Amino acid sequence: MAFVYSDSLVGSRQGIRLLVLLPCQRRESPIECRLETVDLSANPNFEALSYVWGDPSTRVDITVNKQVLNVTASLGTALRHLRHGTDPRALWVDAVCIDQTNLDERNHQVKRMRYIYQHSSHTVVWLGEGDEETDAAMALLRKIDQQDDPYPFRYISQDLARDDLLAAKPGFDKIARRPWWTRMWTFQEFFVARSIKVLCGDAAVRWKAFDVLLPWIGALNMSHGQVLPQSLSQFTEIRNARNVWHSRIRDSGTLLLSTLLKMTGDRGAGEPRDHVFAVLGLVAEGAHEVQIDYKAPVARVYHDATVAAFQETGEDIL
């Protein structure tokens, strides 16, 4: 039997649903949740999940409002790791908090995703399961994360040996190859987040640790030859792009649609329209006439985006 949502968010100016993950002491126990409809203007306390949907053919059942809801195995695994032992945890998860079968609601809520992530207490980036090697890399990042020094670079230069980085090399390589770094929607989710926690298996660190470590890795690569694998360019690229976006927002209030389409041209998406829709939230409202409409033919979406980009720059983008 198909999952039935008790209400519709179509037409609601500030309404969203939150997935409240109910606590359980045992990780292998079935996942139980409830859905709550809240108003963003009331400043509800919640975390936004940024993850990769994964293989749509590999699915698991969870219980939501005493109904069975079928989700991807990727999300099921993330929820098991996110579940607390004693306290409920309020999350915004696109696959569940939006009725994906209702295209009108989907259009309406996808337009609001930027504001949802900006209103969350922080964004949780789920990279997937961990192992000994990724745990070692995350442990190194956690050492940096736990420093109270306002200049953590000083700690790295004094106490973090090149050998420490070399020991963590296999784990960093695995983390950098996770698909989260190369998907369309994670691009916007990462950019607009106020605060970011990165979760790989059971290990969690704030994004600050990545932000601090990357320049140090670059310096070691220049002075000692390449210390860590080229795959770490994934970290650097998204970090630099986020910094560019924030500086542009401060200076001019927006990025051009044409710029964003170029920046994300090699990113992946299961829904072809998302190659356009996933960046619209990063462009100023009214700056273009492209509408989020999952009922529109793909060719029409690409045509409208190309016209809008051409009007900005005179260049053919798509």
pLDDT tens-digit series, residues 59-90: 999 999 999 999 999 999 999 999 999 999 99
Average pLDDT over every residue of 148-164: 57
Whether 286 is in a domain gets the answer: yes
Backbone torsion region of residue 129, taken as left when φ is above 0, otherwise alpha when ψ lies between -120 and 50, otherwise beta: beta
Residues 136 and 234 in one domain: yes
Domain count, the chain: 3
Residues 50 and 107 in one domain: yes
Residues 241 and 293 in one domain: no
Residues 243 and 263 in one domain: no
Q: List the one residue out of 273, 274, 265, 306 whose CA is nearest residue 289.
A: 306
Whether 96 is in a domain gets the answer: yes
**Residue 270: what pLDDT?**
93
Average pLDDT over every residue of 16-28: 94
The pTM for the full model equals 0.89
Q: Counting Cβ atoms within 10 Å, is residue 60 exposed (0-12), middle (13-18) or buried (19+)?
A: middle
Residues 168 and 226 in one domain: yes
Residues 161 and 198 in one domain: yes
Q: Give the domain extent around 43.
A: 15-120
Whether 8 is in a domain gets the answer: no
Average pLDDT over every residue of 294-300: 97
Whether 7 is in a domain gets the answer: no
- Alpha carbon dihedral 42, 43, 45, 49, in 10-degree steps, equals 110
* Amino acid at site 267: R
By DSSP bridging, strand 67-72 and strand 59-64 are antiparallel
pLDDT of 98 > 90? The answer is yes
Output 149 or 27, whichever has higher pLDDT.
27
pLDDT of 156 > 60? The answer is no
Give the residue from 249, 268, 292 where a domain finishes: 249
Average pLDDT of the chain? 86
Residues 136 and 243 in one domain: yes
Q: pLDDT band for position 159 (50/70/90)?
A: low
**Residue 79: what pLDDT?**
98
Report d(CA 150, CA 235) in Å as an integer.
Answer: 22
Whether 5 is in a domain gets the answer: no
- Percentage of the chain beyond pLDDT 90 is 58
Residues 56 and 95 in one domain: yes
Give the residue from 64, 99, 120 where a domain finishes: 120
Structure tokens at 255: 């990025």
**Residue 148: what pLDDT?**
64
**Residue 249: what pLDDT?**
61
Whether 141 is in a domain gets the answer: yes
**Residue 149: what pLDDT?**
58
Residues 67 and 147 in one domain: no
**Which runs of E-coded beta strand occur in the chain?**
15-21, 32-39, 47-50, 59-64, 67-72, 89-92, 122-128, 196-200, 203-206
Q: pLDDT band for position 48 (50/70/90)?
A: very high
Give the residue from 209, 231, 249 where a domain finishes: 249
- Alpha carbon dihedral 88, 92, 96, 98, in 10-degree steps, equals 140
Angle at 235 between CA 239 and CA 145, to 5 degrees: 80
Residues 285 and 244 in one domain: no
Whether 9 is in a domain gets the answer: no
Report d(CA 136, CA 172) in Å as an integer.
Answer: 9
- pLDDT, tens digit (0-9, with 9 covering 90-100), for 219-235: 555 555 555 555 666 67
Whether 1 is in a domain gets the answer: no
**CA atoms within a 13 Å half-sphere pointing along the CA-CB vector of 300:** 9
Q: pLDDT band for position 314 (50/70/90)?
A: low
DSSP 8-state symbol, 149: -
Residues 165 and 189 in one domain: yes
For residues 1 and 61, the answer to whether their CB atoms sit within 8 Å is no
* Amino acid at site 221: N
**Residue 300: what pLDDT?**
96
Residues 77 and 178 in one domain: no
